[in-house]
Amino acid sequence: MDFLPLFHNLRGRLVLVVGGGDIALRKARLLTDAGARLRVVAPDITPPLHELLEQHEGEGLLQGYQAAQLDGVQLVIAATDDETLNAQVSRDAQARNLPVNAVDAPEHCTVIFPAIVDRSPLMIAISSGGHAPVLARLTRARIETLFPHTWGRLAQLAQRFRDKVKAAFPGINQRRVFWEDAFQGDIAERVFAGRDAEAEQLLIARLQEQKGQSYRGEVYLVGAGPGDPDLLTFRALRLMQQADVVLHDRLVPDTIIDLCRRDADRIYVGKARANHAVPQEQINQLLVRLAKEGKRVLRLKGGDPFIFGRGGEEIEELAANGIPFQVVPGITAANGCSAYAGIPLTHRDHAQSVRFVTGHLKDGSTNLPWQELVVPGQTVVFYMGLVGLPVICEQLIQHGRAPTTPIALIQQGTTSSQMVLTGTLASMPALVEQTEIKPPTLLIVGEVVSLRDKLKWFDTPEQG
């Protein structure tokens, strides 16, 4: 993060604008909209900027820039077409610890003017850190289409009732749930339709109905997919944004965790082979306890929670304790990794069925039904099979699979760090020893692996 987004209260505060042309005029208009008092310094000031200063009782100095003009100001804008002058203004401002913006020169800025979506009092700011302002403006244009101008009136309604809601619901979680329901239900629809008085009456009635009621917690069991945030479902993202607590696994990357609500508590409960940060039984009890405290709990799992994710064990405990829950499927690693590696799991010419198998059992062994895994016309996908790879290859060969059977090992599939190693059952153990492959990995065994050379599309390092 190059710049921390903040909103600056400039109402009644003095701002220095160095420059008197069109660029300065654009900045001055934004500043006066925010209630700032302007001091504009330039040898020449355009008539529109003069008019703006007169309308807002600003100060125009027809002279060159001098450091003394920084006296008493709260913000400095360098808006000339002279790069040397802009740099000097920036140095002088920073020497006084004043925030400064130099137009089109991010290296001289300590603050950035974002692209703004104004739904006052709701404000949305978009910034590229000064490096791609056109992209920021295009993003703003897209966001403008998502939020009607009536969103501002919805925020004003919340502003009028904030104290009453706070008095009715002393707990922050209860207030948050109340407002989320109000902003997404019939109250909001009345505001959008211009029927603000009806919206207020509904809000008052809802307050009376729910006042003093305790909020019942809930658990969201959500599949985060194999790693690429773009593969999340809409429902997963919505629940991630409203949960009060997030329990996440080792396989969920930071890029996905960062999409959760910023102020939600985050608890790491990751598990690696023979190294469980929190035992499964404790995770089950933690879900129950947090929900009974009235919290909305997000249980975020890599892949799909019902495919080698122990989701069934967790919701059994929730059901036994009467805790309401939702389950949101995710793209399991077999689907995501095979697709991004260009390996179809089924194909009319190569495989008419597919089987998902865990690479090690609950007791840590690889004692699998080998005879069933060598059936012709079948693709076999091994989850968590890296440690047991030599045994897997050996057993498949011993039970009748040809040593030349293609096999692929996929590391961190669907992400920019994806690495694919291809070989045969006979050659793969030696190939892995020559590389630095690390979990999470997935093994795909079958003739479909031979299609990768023709079908691969996701550009990542090639290893085999």
Convert the pLDDT of each residue in 109-138 to its tens digit: 999 999 899 988 889 999 988 788 889 889
Q: Is the pLDDT of residue 96 over 60?
A: yes
Q: In the prediction, which pLDDT does 172 show?
A: 82
Number of CB atoms found within 10 A of residue 355's CB: 18
Q: Residue written as tokens 């989701």? A: 311
Q: What is the pLDDT of residues 369-414, one digit of tens each?
A: 999 999 999 999 999 899 899 999 999 999 999 999 999 999 999 9
> Is residue 143 a part of any domain in this protein?
no
Q: In the prediction, which pLDDT does 396 show?
A: 96
> Is residue 19 a part of any domain in this protein?
yes
What's the maximum distance between 2 C-alpha atoms anywhere in the chain? Answer: 91
Ligand-binding annotation for 194, yes or no, is: no
Q: Which domain holds residue 292?
A: 218-331
Q: Which CATH number do you get for residue 403?
A: 3.30.950.10
Q: In the prediction, which pLDDT does 145 show?
A: 87
Q: What is the mean pLDDT of residues 164-179?
A: 86
Ligand-binding annotation for 168, yes or no, is: no
Tally of CA atoms within 13 A in the half-sphere of 48 that contains its CB? 9
- Residue 126: name the closest of 134, 116, 111 by CA: 116
| Helix locations, 78-171, DSSP H | 83-95, 133-146, 151-168
The tokens for 338 are 């095979």
**206 and 230 share a domain?**
no
Q: In the prediction, which pLDDT does 439 show?
A: 86
Domain termination site, one of 331, 353, 372: 331
3-state secondary structure of 153: helix
**109 and 177 share a domain?**
no
**Catalytic option among 249, 254, 295, 363:** 249
**Catalytic option among 104, 181, 196, 271:** 271
Q: Is the pLDDT of residue 2 over 90?
A: no
Q: Which CATH number do you get for residue 177?
A: 1.10.8
Q: Which CATH number do you get for residue 101?
A: 3.40.50.720
Q: What is the pLDDT of residues 217-233, one digit of tens each?
A: 899 999 999 999 999 99
**Is the CA virtual torsion 425, 427, 429, 435 positive or negative?**
negative
Q: What is the mean pLDDT of residues 152-172?
A: 89
**441 and 369 share a domain?**
yes
Q: Is the pLDDT of residue 258 over 80?
A: yes
> Is residue 123 a part of any domain in this protein?
no
> Is residue 69 a part of any domain in this protein?
yes
Q: What is the pLDDT of residues 14-61, one digit of tens each?
A: 999 999 999 999 999 999 999 999 999 999 999 999 999 999 999 999
Q: In the prediction, which pLDDT does 263 show?
A: 87
Ligand-binding annotation for 332, yes or no, is: yes
CA distance 289 to 311: 17
Q: Is the pLDDT of residue 176 over 70?
A: yes
Q: Is the pLDDT of residue 423 over 70?
A: yes
> Is residue 446 a part of any domain in this protein?
yes
Ligand-binding annotation for 302, yes or no, is: yes
Q: In the prediction, which pLDDT does 125 show?
A: 92
Q: Is the pLDDT of residue 93 over 90?
A: yes
**325 and 382 share a domain?**
no
Q: Is the pLDDT of residue 151 over 70?
A: yes
Q: In the prediction, which pLDDT does 463 show?
A: 52
Higher pLDDT, 409 or 439: 409
**313 and 251 share a domain?**
yes
> Is residue 267 a part of any domain in this protein?
yes
Work out the end-to-end distance of the chain between its first and last CA atoms, rounded to an integer number of angstroms.
36
Higher pLDDT, 461 or 30: 30
**338 and 451 share a domain?**
yes
Higher pLDDT, 93 or 439: 93
Q: Is the pLDDT of residue 255 over 80?
A: yes
Q: In the prediction, which pLDDT does 294 show?
A: 87
**Does the N-terminal peptide bond of residue 99 adopt cis geometry, omega within 30 degrees of 0?**
no
Ligand-binding annotation for 428, yes or no, is: no
Residue 249 neighbours by CB under 8 Å, 6+ apart? 224, 269, 270, 271, 300, 301, 302
The tokens for 210 are 């729910």
Domain termination site, one of 331, 357, 375: 331
Q: What is the mean pLDDT of residues 351-363?
A: 83
Mean pLDDT of the chain: 91
**391 and 326 share a domain?**
no
What does the DSSP assignment read for 298-341? Answer: EEEESB-TTSSS-HHHHHHHHHHTT--EEEE----HHHHHHHHH
Higher pLDDT, 276 or 355: 355
Ligand-binding annotation for 441, yes or no, is: no
Q: In the prediction, which pLDDT does 43 show?
A: 96
Query: For the chain, how many structural domains are there in total?
Result: 4
> Is residue 51 a part of any domain in this protein?
yes
> 438 catalytic, yes or no?
no
CA distance 163 to 245: 25
Helix then strand then coil, % of the chain, to nearest 5: 40, 20, 40
Domain termination site, one of 113, 138, 171: 113
Q: In the prediction, which pLDDT does 148 show?
A: 82
In eight-state DSSP terms, residue 235 is H
Percent of the chain with pLDDT over 90: 72
Q: In the prediction, which pLDDT does 266 show?
A: 95
> Is residue 285 a part of any domain in this protein?
yes
CA distance 157 to 425: 66
CA 82 to chain centre: 39
**344 and 436 share a domain?**
yes
> 166 catalytic, yes or no?
no
**237 and 283 share a domain?**
yes
Q: Is the pLDDT of residue 193 over 70?
A: yes
If pLDDT is split at 50, 70 and 90, which confidence band does 254 have?
Answer: very high
Ligand-binding annotation for 294, yes or no, is: no
Q: Are 102 and 109 in contact (CB under 8 A)?
A: yes
Q: Which CATH number do you get for residue 314?
A: 3.40.1010.10
If pLDDT is split at 50, 70 and 90, which confidence band does 415 have?
Answer: very high
